[in-house]
């Protein structure tokens, strides 16, 4: 079966004509594409709809979709086979002969050691042009006085329970961001404060005057300050939500299985916006200093948010779970005794009398990489997972999972950057076995071996980080130099230079 799948993939890649494009989402009209600085996005085969056609073609389409790799890797049929080999785990990077990624970005990835059938990570690197919206709520607006905006975009998507959600997000999330920025093109280029309201349809004669709905004005004596930066943050947050909603609508017809963590970087007007929903990580290494640009969202880090939701909506817990956390599972023989616990309001611990409801399974259990929500999933933010349910139960887990990212902003104009200053993005396959300090040491070691104007230095750094986390095959596994287990997960790494040739300057 695997050979047939690989043959189908090879035939798809080597065929002369491009596959037919996937139907466009109604939410994303066909607008101006990116400038030629970015490689064009190759069209992908449309997914087979459930129940349509024979079973064999549907399985072939599903196999092709789950086996797709980032377009910018430009993998040949042989390269695709090597990228899918769990035994060899060859590191993949864009070819030296191809068009460089924006900012001379470096990239490398490797498949897992057998954790899943295919590499469920996906990546995207684009230059996106945003043209100002010509009308709002049906009212024509004057043509834009200036030009549109251009933003640079990088995205890492770590899939789980299938690669469909990660693949879909890698194709569409930057388009949702573009749609959200269309209303802001003129506003962001105007140094004056953003307007409180955008133009809308004028009221018709005789329509009701809503002024009577206004309450006392004493609390509205001044307008809250809204910055241009916060508008971009809001656009990114809304784009994540719209992407998640689209996955919910299309999860059946387009076979969007599973979910994904999303780590996205947007460079716009001198600032870098890092949006993270999941357990991937981004750090800046600047002159040897480590600057965290994200935090991981896990059952441990978001315990209080999860418990608060369980307190407000106990029906989400059914009769199977308790929102309270205990140091260990409470035993029936301990009923009536006092045990340590904590709830949504507590960071410390206290004692309570054990009641019958405390024998239920805790909403958050385990610690570290083994921490789980409802004994099922180890991340609490991301995209997708709309069909995820508790094992042997009908309880949905999606209400506890948030699609909203945390967005951190870094102002590039406030610092003088050298060619060795970089932003490192990595999925959890890297960070499970590598510390921030070890990454910073690798940055210094690898980049110092290359000339500052050598564009290949950033790809070499990405490869070194992936190889260092993967390890070498030894003793029936992958081992690091200290003989500890290497990462058996998919590993994907972007290296974005913040200064020097090929950067934003």
Distance CA 335, CA 349 (A): 19
> Do 324 and 360 have their domain in common?
yes
> Do 365 and 451 have their domain in common?
no
> Do 350 and 446 have their domain in common?
no
Give the SS3 label for residue 282: strand
Is residue 29 a part of any domain in this protein?
no
| pLDDT at site 449 | 97
What would the pLDDT profile of 9-25 be if each residue is shown by its tens digit? 344 333 333 333 433 44
Is residue 50 a part of any domain in this protein?
no
DSSP-assigned beta bridge partners for residue 109: 92, 492
Choose the final residue of a domain: 378, 412, 429.
378
What would the pLDDT profile of 157-215 be if each residue is shown by its tens digit? 999 998 999 999 999 999 999 999 999 999 999 888 888 887 765 555 555 666 555 55
Is residue 126 a part of any domain in this protein?
yes
> Do 315 and 437 have their domain in common?
no
| 45 or 136, higher pLDDT | 136
Is residue 211 a part of any domain in this protein?
no
| pLDDT at site 500 | 55
Angle at 492 between CA 488 and CA 496, to 5 degrees: 150
| 204 or 46, higher pLDDT | 204
> Do 87 and 182 have their domain in common?
yes
Q: What is the mean pLDDT of the chain?
A: 84
Alpha-carbon distances of 43 from 46, 246, 250, rounded to whole Å: 9, 19, 18
**CA within 13 Å, CB half, 448:** 8
What would the pLDDT profile of 387-397 be if each residue is shown by its tens digit? 999 988 999 99
Is residue 237 a part of any domain in this protein?
yes
> Do 237 and 365 have their domain in common?
no
> Do 312 and 289 have their domain in common?
no
> Do 260 and 351 have their domain in common?
no
Q: Is the dihedral of CA 450, 452, 456, 462 positive or negative?
A: positive
**CA within 13 Å, CB half, 202:** 3
pTM above 0.75, yes or no: yes
Distance CA 240, CA 229 (A): 17
> Do 277 and 243 have their domain in common?
yes
Task: Quote the number of domains for the chain.
Answer: 2
Distance CA 450, CA 94 (A): 18
Is residue 396 a part of any domain in this protein?
no
The alpha helices in 27-163, defined as continuous H runs, are: 55-67, 77-83
Is residue 6 a part of any domain in this protein?
no
What would the pLDDT profile of 258-293 be if each residue is shown by its tens digit? 999 999 999 999 999 999 999 999 999 999 999 999
> Do 366 and 413 have their domain in common?
no
> Do 318 and 293 have their domain in common?
no
| Percentage of residues of the chain with pLDDT beyond 70 | 78
Q: Are the CB atoms for 441 and 464 separated by under 8 Å? A: no
pLDDT band per the 50, 70, 90 thresholds, residue 312: very high
Provide the b/e sequence for 263-283 (b: ≥16 CB within 10 Å).
bbbbbbeebbbbbbbbbbbbb
Q: What is the mean pLDDT of residues 98-122?
A: 93
3-state secondary structure 109-147: EECCCCCCCCCCEEEEEEEEEECCCCEECCEECCCCCCC
| pLDDT at site 475 | 80
**CA within 13 Å, CB half, 71:** 14
Residue 154's CATH number: 3.60.40.10
H or E stretch including 306? Answer: helix 303-312
Checking if the pLDDT of 454 tops 80, the result is yes
**CB neighbour list of residue 219: distance below 8 Å, 6 or more residues apart:** none
What would the pLDDT profile of 50-69 be if each residue is shown by its tens digit? 333 333 333 433 444 447 89
> Do 184 and 271 have their domain in common?
yes
Is residue 3 a part of any domain in this protein?
no
| pLDDT at site 246 | 95
**Domain coverage including residue 355:** 303-378
Angle at 429 between CA 427 and CA 432, to 5 degrees: 110
């Amino acid at each position: 079966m695997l050979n047939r799948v690989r043959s189908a993939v090879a035939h798809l890649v080597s065929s002369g004509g491009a596959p037919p494009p996937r139907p466009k989402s109604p939410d994303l009209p066909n607008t101006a594409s990116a400038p030629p600085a970015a490689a064009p996005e190759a069209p992908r085969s449309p997914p087979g709809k459930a129940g349509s056609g024979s079973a064999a073609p549907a399985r072939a389409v599903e196999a092709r979709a789950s086996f797709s790799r980032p377009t910018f890797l430009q993998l040949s049929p042989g390269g695709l086979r090597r990228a899918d080999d769990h035994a060899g785990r060859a590191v993949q990077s864009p070819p030296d002969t191809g068009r460089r990624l924006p900012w001379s970005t470096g990239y490398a990835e490797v498949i897992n050691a057998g954790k899943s059938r295919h590499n469920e990570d996906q990546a995207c690197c684009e230059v996106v042009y945003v043209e100002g919206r010509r009308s709002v709520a049906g009212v024509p607006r004057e043509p834009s006085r200036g030009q549109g905006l251009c933003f640079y975009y990088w995205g890492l998507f770590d899939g789980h329970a299938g690669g469909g959600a990660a693949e879909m997000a890698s194709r569409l999330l930057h388009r949702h961001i573009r749609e959200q920025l269309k209303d802001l093109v003129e506003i962001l280029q105007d140094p004056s404060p953003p307007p409180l309201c955008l133009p809308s349809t004028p009221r018709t004669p005789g329509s009701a005057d809503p002024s009577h709905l206004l309450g006392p004005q004493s609390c509205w004596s001044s307008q809250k300050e809204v910055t241009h930066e916060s508008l971009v943050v809001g656009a990114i947050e809304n784009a994540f939500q719209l992407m998640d909603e689209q996955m919910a609508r299309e999860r059946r017809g387009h076979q969007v299985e599973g979910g994904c963590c999303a780590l996205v970087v947007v460079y716009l007007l001198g600032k870098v916006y890092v949006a993270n929903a999941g357990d991937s990580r981004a750090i800046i290494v600047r002159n040897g200093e480590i600057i965290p640009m994200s935090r991981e969202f896990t059952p441990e880090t978001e315990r209080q948010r999860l418990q608060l939701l369980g307190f407000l909506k106990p029906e989400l817990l059914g009769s199977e779970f308790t929102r309270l956390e205990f140091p260990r599972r409470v035993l029936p023989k301990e009923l009536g005794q006092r045990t340590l616990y904590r709830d949504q309001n507590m960071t410390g611990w206290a004692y309570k009398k054990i009641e019958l409801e405390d024998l239920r399974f805790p909403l958050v259990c385990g610690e570290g990489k083994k921490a789980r929500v409802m004994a099922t999933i180890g991340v609490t933010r991301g995209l997708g997972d709309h069909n995820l349910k508790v094992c042997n139960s009908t309880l949905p887990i999606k209400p506890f999972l948030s699609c909203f990212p945390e967005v951190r902003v870094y102002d590039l104009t406030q610092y003088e950057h050298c060619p060795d200053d970089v932003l490192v993005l990595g999925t959890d396959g890297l960070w499970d076995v590598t510390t921030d300090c070890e990454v910073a040491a690798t940055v210094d070691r690898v980049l110092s071996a290359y000339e500052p104007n050598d564009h290949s230095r950033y790809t070499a750094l990405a490869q070194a980080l992936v190889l260092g986390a993967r390890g070498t095959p030894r003793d029936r596994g992958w081992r690091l130099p200290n003989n500890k287990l290497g990462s058996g997960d998919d590993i994907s790494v972007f290296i974005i230079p913040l200064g020097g040739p090929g950067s934003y300057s």
